[in-house]
Amino acid sequence: MNSELGSGFKLAMRRLTSTVTILTCRLNGQRYGMTATAVTSVCSDPPSLLVCVNRSASFHAPMAEATHFCVNLLKVGQQHISSAFGGSKKGEEKFSEGVWLTSDEGIPYLADAQANIICTSSNSFSFGTHTIFIGQVENIMLAPEVSPLLYQDGGFAKAFSLSAGA
């Protein structure tokens, strides 16, 4: 790839605003997690989503073996959790930020996230440096508030409504 295209792509992606999530799974009794914005709805029949995980991340190996994973959607004020799971902390120490509970499936989930989406890992594909995992949604927990922690242009942001009367 020529370097101009590569840097242009990175600059364009900085303008693709996304909700920050924490992906979590459990393997052999051990909890694993990673901050991710590469999360997309696939379809609603069956309810499914995809996540893109770099093979160099410590989360990749357990994610590739785990039968289930959870997508925890962060809210404004949870930037410290994003940082912990984005590389500033390692291993089990990541879970010292936030209140983490265990789902019926045994998956760690963040107690006060905007939403927790528990999936079975149903398929995966390699592309470039990443693996794309498809999750079939099994269970959802929703908090009352809609207050997404956004990531854009290399930093955190929050959304405001453009609807009439807002």
Ligand X SMILES: Cc1cc2nc3c(=O)[nH]c(=O)nc-3n(C[C@H](O)[C@H](O)[C@H](O)COP(=O)(O)O)c2cc1C
Name the residues that contact ligand X, by CB under 6 A: 20, 34-38, 52-54, 57-58, 82, 85-87, 90, 151
Phi, psi torsion values for 140, nearest 5 degrees: -135, 135
- Least distance CB 129 / ligand X (angstroms): 8
Tell me the two tokens of residue 49.
Answer: 């989503």
Q: Which of 88/166 has CB closer to ligand X?
A: 88
Tokens of 76: 């404004």
List the structure tokens of 117. Answer: 């989406």
Nearer to ligand X by Cβ, of 59 and 109: the residue is 59
Q: Smallest distance, Å, CB 75 to ligand X?
A: 14
Residue type, 76: V
Nearest-approach distance from CB 53 to ligand X, in angstroms: 5
Query: For 147, which DSSP code?
Result: -
Q: Which residues of 35-65 are buried (b: 16+ CB within 10 A; e: fewer)?
A: bbbbbeeeeeeeebbbbbbeeebebbebbee
Minimum CB separation of residue 166 from ligand X in Å reads: 26
DSSP three-state, residue 91: helix
**CB closer to ligand X, 15 vs 164:** 15
Q: Which is nearer to ligand X, 154 or 163 (CB)?
A: 154
